[in-house]
Homo-oligomer: A and B are copies of this chain.
Protein backbone atom coordinates (compact mmCIF):
# COMPACT_ATOMS: atom_id res chain seq x y z
CA UNK A 1 0.00 0.00 0.00
CA UNK A 2 1.22 3.48 -0.83
CA UNK A 3 1.79 5.73 2.18
CA UNK A 4 0.59 9.28 1.72
CA UNK A 5 0.86 11.79 4.52
CA UNK A 6 -2.25 13.86 4.23
CA UNK A 7 -2.73 17.32 5.59
CA UNK A 8 -6.29 17.06 6.89
CA UNK A 9 -6.60 20.72 7.81
CA UNK A 10 -5.55 21.81 4.34
CA UNK A 11 -7.84 19.26 2.68
CA UNK A 12 -10.87 20.43 4.67
CA UNK A 13 -10.18 24.13 4.05
CA UNK A 14 -9.66 23.59 0.34
CA UNK A 15 -12.80 21.52 -0.11
CA UNK A 16 -14.97 23.96 1.86
CA UNK A 17 -13.57 26.85 -0.12
CA UNK A 18 -14.09 25.08 -3.42
CA UNK A 19 -17.68 24.10 -2.59
CA UNK A 20 -18.45 27.72 -1.59
CA UNK A 21 -16.88 29.08 -4.75
CA UNK A 22 -18.63 26.61 -7.07
CA UNK A 23 -22.11 26.86 -5.55
CA UNK A 24 -21.99 30.62 -5.00
CA UNK A 25 -25.44 31.95 -4.10
CA UNK A 26 -27.26 28.92 -5.48
CA UNK A 27 -28.64 26.07 -3.44
CA UNK A 28 -27.24 22.57 -3.28
CA UNK A 29 -28.64 19.22 -2.26
CA UNK A 30 -27.08 16.00 -1.13
CA UNK A 31 -28.27 12.56 -0.23
CA UNK A 32 -26.96 11.12 3.01
CA UNK A 33 -26.79 7.32 3.19
CA UNK A 34 -25.30 7.22 6.66
CA UNK A 35 -22.02 5.84 5.34
CA UNK A 36 -18.74 7.53 6.19
CA UNK A 37 -18.34 8.99 2.68
CA UNK A 38 -21.73 10.67 2.38
CA UNK A 39 -21.53 11.71 6.05
CA UNK A 40 -18.26 13.54 5.50
CA UNK A 41 -19.67 15.21 2.39
CA UNK A 42 -22.68 16.31 4.43
CA UNK A 43 -20.48 17.84 7.12
CA UNK A 44 -18.17 19.58 4.62
CA UNK A 45 -21.19 20.78 2.64
CA UNK A 46 -22.91 22.25 5.67
CA UNK A 47 -19.72 24.01 6.79
CA UNK A 48 -19.43 25.51 3.31
CA UNK A 49 -23.07 26.26 2.55
CA UNK A 50 -25.06 26.16 5.82
CA UNK A 51 -28.76 26.50 4.95
CA UNK A 52 -27.96 26.70 1.24
CA UNK A 53 -27.48 22.90 1.44
CA UNK A 54 -30.49 20.62 1.76
CA UNK A 55 -29.63 17.09 2.95
CA UNK A 56 -32.05 14.19 2.44
CA UNK A 57 -31.95 10.63 3.70
CA UNK A 58 -33.91 8.32 1.39
CA UNK A 59 -35.41 5.27 3.09
CA UNK A 60 -35.15 2.74 0.23
CA UNK A 61 -36.48 -0.24 2.26
CA UNK A 62 -32.98 -1.70 1.99
CA UNK A 63 -31.53 -0.25 5.19
CA UNK A 64 -30.67 -2.01 8.39
CA UNK A 65 -32.85 -2.24 11.49
CA UNK A 66 -33.67 1.28 12.78
CA UNK A 67 -31.01 2.82 10.54
CA UNK A 68 -32.89 5.72 8.90
CA UNK A 69 -33.97 7.32 12.17
CA UNK A 70 -30.60 6.65 13.80
CA UNK A 71 -28.73 8.50 11.06
CA UNK A 72 -31.10 11.46 11.14
CA UNK A 73 -30.67 11.68 14.92
CA UNK A 74 -26.87 11.58 14.74
CA UNK A 75 -26.84 14.58 12.40
CA UNK A 76 -29.49 16.42 14.41
CA UNK A 77 -27.13 16.14 17.37
CA UNK A 78 -24.48 17.95 15.28
CA UNK A 79 -26.97 20.68 14.38
CA UNK A 80 -27.35 19.43 10.80
CA UNK A 81 -30.98 18.99 9.70
CA UNK A 82 -31.65 15.94 7.51
CA UNK A 83 -34.98 15.27 5.81
CA UNK A 84 -36.11 11.63 5.97
CA UNK A 85 -37.89 10.60 2.73
CA UNK A 86 -39.92 7.38 2.69
CA UNK A 87 -39.46 5.78 -0.75
CA UNK A 88 -39.75 2.16 0.30
CA UNK A 89 -42.61 1.22 -2.01
CA UNK A 90 -40.91 2.67 -5.06
CA UNK A 91 -37.74 0.65 -4.50
CA UNK A 92 -39.54 -2.60 -3.66
CA UNK A 93 -41.67 -2.45 -6.77
CA UNK A 94 -38.64 -1.63 -8.94
CA UNK A 95 -36.85 -4.70 -7.54
CA UNK A 96 -39.79 -7.11 -7.81
CA UNK A 97 -39.01 -10.09 -10.02
CA UNK A 98 -35.36 -9.20 -10.63
CA UNK A 99 -32.65 -11.79 -9.94
CA UNK A 100 -29.75 -10.66 -12.13
CA UNK A 101 -27.18 -8.74 -10.00
CA UNK A 102 -26.66 -6.04 -12.62
CA UNK A 103 -30.38 -5.54 -13.10
CA UNK A 104 -30.88 -5.31 -9.34
CA UNK A 105 -28.14 -2.71 -8.89
CA UNK A 106 -29.49 -0.84 -11.90
CA UNK A 107 -33.00 -0.85 -10.48
CA UNK A 108 -31.77 0.65 -7.21
CA UNK A 109 -29.67 3.23 -9.08
CA UNK A 110 -32.43 4.23 -11.46
CA UNK A 111 -35.08 4.41 -8.77
CA UNK A 112 -32.78 6.55 -6.69
CA UNK A 113 -31.59 8.95 -9.39
CA UNK A 114 -34.29 9.10 -11.98
CA UNK A 115 -37.28 8.79 -9.72
CA UNK A 116 -36.77 9.65 -6.07
CA UNK A 117 -33.70 11.88 -5.94
CA UNK A 118 -34.41 13.45 -9.32
CA UNK A 119 -37.84 14.47 -8.01
CA UNK A 120 -36.38 15.81 -4.76
CA UNK A 121 -33.80 17.83 -6.70
CA UNK A 122 -36.42 19.32 -9.00
CA UNK A 123 -38.71 20.13 -6.06
CA UNK A 124 -35.83 21.71 -4.13
CA UNK A 125 -34.75 23.91 -7.02
CA UNK A 126 -31.12 23.01 -6.19
CA UNK A 127 -28.67 23.27 -9.02
CA UNK A 128 -25.76 21.50 -7.38
CA UNK A 129 -25.47 17.99 -6.08
CA UNK A 130 -22.80 17.00 -3.56
CA UNK A 131 -21.70 13.40 -3.79
CA UNK A 132 -19.50 11.06 -1.72
CA UNK A 133 -17.56 9.35 -4.53
CA UNK A 134 -14.11 8.20 -3.41
CA UNK A 135 -11.06 7.25 -5.44
CA UNK A 136 -11.59 3.49 -5.06
CA UNK A 137 -15.09 3.79 -6.57
CA UNK A 138 -13.67 5.51 -9.61
CA UNK A 139 -10.83 3.03 -10.07
CA UNK A 140 -13.04 -0.03 -9.69
CA UNK A 141 -15.71 1.28 -11.99
CA UNK A 142 -13.18 2.15 -14.68
CA UNK A 143 -11.69 -1.33 -14.30
CA UNK A 144 -15.16 -2.83 -14.78
CA UNK A 145 -15.13 -4.45 -11.33
CA UNK A 146 -17.93 -2.48 -9.79
CA UNK A 147 -20.97 -0.68 -11.01
CA UNK A 148 -21.25 2.32 -8.75
CA UNK A 149 -24.37 4.40 -8.58
CA UNK A 150 -22.65 7.65 -7.68
CA UNK A 151 -20.01 8.34 -10.27
CA UNK A 152 -21.94 9.27 -13.35
CA UNK A 153 -19.39 11.81 -14.45
CA UNK A 154 -16.51 9.32 -14.41
CA UNK A 155 -18.53 6.93 -16.55
CA UNK A 156 -18.88 9.58 -19.22
CA UNK A 157 -22.56 10.22 -18.52
CA UNK A 158 -23.29 13.92 -18.57
CA UNK A 159 -25.21 14.40 -15.32
CA UNK A 160 -26.65 17.72 -16.47
CA UNK A 161 -28.25 16.00 -19.40
CA UNK A 162 -29.06 12.71 -17.68
CA UNK A 163 -30.54 13.86 -14.43
CA UNK A 164 -30.71 17.62 -14.52
CA UNK A 165 -28.03 18.63 -12.03
CA UNK A 166 -24.28 19.17 -11.58
CA UNK A 167 -22.21 16.90 -9.40
CA UNK A 168 -19.52 17.96 -6.89
CA UNK A 169 -17.32 15.19 -5.54
CA UNK A 170 -15.14 16.62 -2.78
CA UNK A 171 -13.77 13.19 -1.69
CA UNK A 172 -12.72 11.94 -5.09
CA UNK A 173 -8.99 12.08 -4.24
CA UNK A 174 -9.34 10.03 -1.04
CA UNK A 175 -9.51 6.34 -0.31
CA UNK A 176 -11.49 4.93 2.62
CA UNK A 177 -8.66 5.37 5.12
CA UNK A 178 -8.23 9.01 4.08
CA UNK A 179 -11.95 9.63 4.56
CA UNK A 180 -11.77 8.19 8.09
CA UNK A 181 -8.72 10.31 8.85
CA UNK A 182 -10.53 13.50 7.86
CA UNK A 183 -13.58 12.45 9.93
CA UNK A 184 -11.34 11.97 12.96
CA UNK A 185 -9.62 15.28 12.33
CA UNK A 186 -13.06 16.93 12.31
CA UNK A 187 -13.92 15.05 15.52
CA UNK A 188 -17.08 13.59 14.05
CA UNK A 189 -18.88 11.05 16.29
CA UNK A 190 -17.40 7.53 16.23
CA UNK A 191 -20.62 6.12 14.76
CA UNK A 192 -19.68 8.10 11.64
CA UNK A 193 -15.87 7.90 11.52
CA UNK A 194 -15.70 4.30 12.70
CA UNK A 195 -18.81 3.09 10.89
CA UNK A 196 -18.18 -0.07 8.94
CA UNK A 197 -18.62 0.32 5.18
CA UNK A 198 -22.14 -0.27 3.89
CA UNK A 199 -22.84 -0.28 0.16
CA UNK A 200 -25.10 2.15 -1.66
CA UNK A 201 -27.63 -0.48 -2.78
CA UNK A 202 -27.57 -1.55 0.87
CA UNK A 203 -29.09 -4.91 1.81
CA UNK A 204 -29.95 -5.54 -1.86
CA UNK A 205 -26.27 -6.41 -2.37
CA UNK A 206 -26.59 -9.03 0.35
CA UNK A 207 -29.42 -10.97 -1.20
CA UNK A 208 -28.64 -13.43 -3.97
CA UNK A 209 -31.83 -13.80 -6.02
CA UNK A 210 -34.98 -11.70 -5.78
CA UNK A 211 -35.17 -8.86 -3.26
CA UNK A 212 -38.55 -9.02 -1.52
CA UNK A 213 -39.88 -7.55 1.69
CA UNK A 214 -39.71 -10.97 3.35
CA UNK A 215 -36.18 -11.75 2.18
CA UNK A 216 -35.09 -8.28 3.31
CA UNK A 217 -36.51 -9.06 6.76
CA UNK A 218 -34.45 -12.27 6.82
CA UNK A 219 -31.15 -10.66 5.86
CA UNK A 220 -31.89 -7.68 8.12
CA UNK A 221 -32.32 -9.98 11.13
CA UNK A 222 -29.08 -11.80 10.27
CA UNK A 223 -27.26 -8.50 9.78
CA UNK A 224 -28.43 -7.36 13.22
CA UNK A 225 -26.96 -10.51 14.81
CA UNK A 226 -23.67 -10.33 12.91
CA UNK A 227 -23.17 -6.63 13.66
CA UNK A 228 -24.00 -7.13 17.34
CA UNK A 229 -21.61 -10.07 17.68
CA UNK A 230 -18.75 -8.52 15.70
CA UNK A 231 -18.95 -4.87 16.74
CA UNK A 232 -15.90 -5.32 19.01
CA UNK A 233 -13.99 -7.52 16.56
CA UNK A 234 -11.96 -4.65 15.15
CA UNK A 235 -12.62 -6.00 11.64
CA UNK A 236 -12.85 -3.64 8.66
CA UNK A 237 -16.31 -4.85 7.61
CA UNK A 238 -18.74 -7.62 8.52
CA UNK A 239 -22.07 -8.63 7.07
CA UNK A 240 -24.68 -11.30 6.52
CA UNK A 241 -25.69 -12.49 3.04
CA UNK A 242 -28.85 -14.41 2.15
CA UNK A 243 -28.31 -16.97 -0.60
CA UNK A 244 -30.97 -17.97 -3.09
CA UNK A 245 -30.07 -21.65 -2.78
CA UNK A 246 -31.73 -23.76 -0.13
CA UNK A 247 -30.40 -26.89 1.55
CA UNK A 248 -31.95 -29.83 3.33
CA UNK A 249 -32.22 -29.89 7.09
CA UNK A 250 -34.12 -31.53 9.92
CA UNK A 251 -36.21 -29.76 12.49
CA UNK A 252 -38.46 -31.56 14.99
CA UNK A 253 -37.41 -34.76 13.24
CA UNK A 254 -38.93 -33.63 9.94
CA UNK A 255 -37.13 -32.90 6.70
CA UNK A 256 -37.14 -29.23 5.72
CA UNK A 257 -35.60 -27.23 2.94
CA UNK A 258 -34.20 -24.12 4.57
CA UNK A 259 -32.46 -20.89 3.69
CA UNK A 260 -28.72 -20.27 3.94
CA UNK A 261 -26.97 -17.28 5.51
CA UNK A 262 -23.32 -16.51 4.74
CA UNK A 263 -21.32 -14.51 7.28
CA UNK A 264 -18.55 -12.39 5.77
CA UNK A 265 -15.99 -10.56 7.91
CA UNK A 266 -12.90 -8.98 6.39
CA UNK A 267 -9.63 -7.23 7.11
CA UNK A 268 -8.79 -4.36 4.77
CA UNK A 269 -7.50 -0.83 4.79
CA UNK A 270 -9.14 0.56 1.70
CA UNK A 271 -11.48 -2.14 0.35
CA UNK A 272 -9.28 -2.63 -2.73
CA UNK A 273 -8.00 -5.90 -1.32
CA UNK A 274 -9.27 -7.85 1.67
CA UNK A 275 -8.76 -11.08 3.56
CA UNK A 276 -11.22 -13.07 5.65
CA UNK A 277 -10.86 -12.36 9.37
CA UNK A 278 -9.66 -15.19 11.60
CA UNK A 279 -12.52 -15.08 14.11
CA UNK A 280 -12.39 -17.19 17.30
CA UNK A 281 -14.18 -20.50 16.83
CA UNK A 282 -16.60 -19.93 19.71
CA UNK A 283 -17.59 -16.58 18.20
CA UNK A 284 -18.34 -18.27 14.86
CA UNK A 285 -20.32 -20.94 16.70
CA UNK A 286 -22.30 -18.37 18.64
CA UNK A 287 -23.17 -16.41 15.48
CA UNK A 288 -24.23 -19.63 13.76
CA UNK A 289 -26.39 -20.71 16.72
CA UNK A 290 -28.13 -17.36 16.92
CA UNK A 291 -28.78 -17.22 13.18
CA UNK A 292 -30.28 -20.71 12.95
CA UNK A 293 -32.28 -20.33 16.16
CA UNK A 294 -33.51 -16.74 15.96
CA UNK A 295 -34.33 -16.44 12.26
CA UNK A 296 -37.27 -18.31 10.83
CA UNK A 297 -36.65 -20.65 7.90
CA UNK A 298 -32.82 -20.44 8.07
CA UNK A 299 -31.06 -23.75 8.76
CA UNK A 300 -27.50 -23.17 7.55
CA UNK A 301 -24.82 -20.66 8.40
CA UNK A 302 -21.58 -20.51 6.40
CA UNK A 303 -18.43 -18.45 6.89
CA UNK A 304 -16.81 -16.90 3.81
CA UNK A 305 -13.08 -17.70 3.70
CA UNK A 306 -12.32 -15.93 0.43
CA UNK A 307 -9.95 -12.98 -0.04
CA UNK A 308 -10.55 -10.11 -2.49
CA UNK A 309 -9.48 -10.83 -5.16
CA UNK A 310 -10.82 -13.15 -6.50
CA UNK A 311 -14.04 -12.54 -4.52
CA UNK A 312 -15.47 -9.08 -4.04
CA UNK A 313 -16.60 -7.99 -0.59
CA UNK A 314 -20.29 -8.06 -1.47
CA UNK A 315 -22.16 -10.83 -3.32
CA UNK A 316 -23.88 -8.96 -6.12
Contacts and interface: CB of A to CB of B under 8 A. Distances in A.
A146 B310 contact: no
B249 A309 contact: yes
A310 B309 CA distance: 33
Interface stretch (A75-83, A215-223, A278-286): A278-286
B310 A255 contact: no
A257 B101 contact: yes
Given A143-B254, A310-B299, A245 B247 contact: no
B311 A249 contact: yes
A254 B304 contact: no
Interface in A281-301: 281, 284-285, 287-288, 292, 299-301
Contacts of A302: 262, 302-306
Interface in A260-279: 262-263, 276, 278
A251 B310 contact: yes
Contacts of A284: 305
Q: Which of A143, A281, A305 has the most CB of B within 10 A?
A: A305
Contacts of A250: 143, 145, 308-312
Contacts of A310: 249-251, 256, 258, 292, 299
A146 B255 CA distance: 7
B312 A301 contact: no
A307 B249 CA distance: 10
12 contacts: A143-B250, A143-B253, A144-B254, A144-B255, A145-B250, A250-B311, A288-B307, A292-B310, A302-B302, A302-B305, A302-B306, A303-B303
Contacts of A249: 308-312
A314 interface: yes
Nearest to A310: B299
Contacts of A244: 244-245
A116 interface: no
Contacts of A311: 247-250, 258, 292, 299-300
Contacts of A170: none
Contacts of A246: 208
A225 B145 CA distance: 29
Contact of A248 (B245, B287, B315): B315
A250 B281 CA distance: 29
Contacts of A308: 249-250
A209 interface: yes
Q: Which of A250, A251, A254, A304 has the most CB of B within 10 A?
A: A250
Given A250-B312, A255-B144, A316-B248, A288 B306 contact: yes
Q: Which of A247, A257, A299 has the most CB of B within 10 A?
A: A247
A243 interface: yes
A297 to B, nearest CB: 10
A13 B285 CA distance: 45
